[in-house]
């Protein structure tokens, strides 16, 4: 019951009737009412928070026990809520990642797409657009002049990218390529939303903003 009260307190911070929030979902279900007959998801907004019960389902969310999820949800008011739920409707917007209880990371988008850099820290206007393809723990593409490859690892929304190995062509303007490799080295975390991928440094400053490109 106290966990349900915590959830109610959590909802009080929602000042709009229709907002998007990022939440974590626990790897196990919990007893909703203490009778063992009904189970609920457990959610929280920050890693350090305690888990709270969510009596309602998350529309569009294919939950499987054994995984901790980080997801973006849309939360809206319900005119006629069910008697055993809240007056809020949760709908999946984006699955950011899912992590097994054994700490095996299952990376979803963005790493199944090919990407083109749309904006880059330190560059006002991109005359060339470096590309990134993520596959089997490696990033490859064109940096604006040379083709390159690098290794990467992820844990949740954190990312670490090794020093890139590139071909040795020389172009008249290498500024974009040098800035791109510098951004890859500084990348510390990522965020995706729909068809965009953003890499951030350790201080959460945006380094690269990318859009998907066709095959």
Residue range 37-59, pLDDT digits in tens: 678 888 999 888 878 888 888 99
Helix (H) or strand (E) holding 5: helix 2-11
pLDDT at 32 over 80: no
Same domain, 96 and 31: yes
Which of 83, 106, 129 lies at the terminal end of a domain, its last residue? 106
Which of 61, 85, 106 lies at the terminal end of a domain, its last residue? 106
The pTM of the full predicted model, rounded to 2 decimals, is 0.52
Lowest mean pLDDT among 68-82, 142-156, 175-189: 68-82
Cis preceding linkage at 110, omega within 30? yes
pLDDT bin (cut points 50, 70, 90) of residue 24 is very high
Same domain, 84 and 130: no
CA-wise closest residue to 122 among 1, 15, 6, 207: 207
Cis preceding linkage at 52, omega within 30? no
Tokens 């609920």 correspond to 40
Give the structural domain span for 158. Answer: 114-213
CA-wise closest residue to 197 among 83, 119, 126, 104: 119
Q: What is the domain count for the chain?
A: 2
Residue 22's pLDDT is what? 93
- Computed over every residue of the chain, the mean pLDDT equals 82
Mean pLDDT of 4-29: 66
How many angstroms separate the CA atoms of 191 and 185, rounded? 17
Same domain, 31 and 101: yes
Mean pLDDT of 145-170: 88
User: What are the tokens at 104?
Assistant: 């095996």
Residue 36's pLDDT is what? 53
């Amino acid at each position: 019951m106290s966990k349900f009260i915590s959830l109610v307190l959590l909802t009080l911070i929602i000042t709009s009737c229709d907002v998007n929030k990022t939440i974590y979902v626990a790897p196990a279900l919990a007893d909703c009412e203490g009778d063992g007959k009904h189970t609920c998801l457990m959610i929280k907004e920050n890693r350090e928070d305690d888990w709270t019960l969510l009596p309602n389902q998350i529309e569009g969310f294919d939950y499987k026990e054994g995984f901790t999820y980080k997801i973006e949800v849309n939360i809206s008011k319900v005119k006629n809520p069910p008697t055993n739920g809240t007056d809020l409707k949760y709908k999946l917007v984006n699955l950011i990642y899912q992590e097994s209880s054994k700490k095996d990371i299952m990376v979803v988008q963005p790493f199944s797409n090919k990407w083109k850099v749309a904006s880059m820290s330190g560059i006002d206007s991109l005359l060339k657009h470096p590309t990134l393809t993520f596959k089997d723990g490696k990033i490859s593409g064109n940096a604006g002049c040379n083709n390159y490859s690098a290794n990467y690892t992820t844990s949740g929304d954190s990312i670490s990218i090794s020093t890139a190995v590139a071909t040795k062509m020389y172009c008249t303007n290498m500024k974009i390529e040098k800035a791109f490799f510098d951004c890859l080295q500084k990348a510390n975390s990522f965020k995706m939303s729909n068809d965009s991928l953003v890499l951030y440094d350790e201080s959460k400053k945006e380094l690269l903003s990318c859009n998907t490109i066709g095959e």
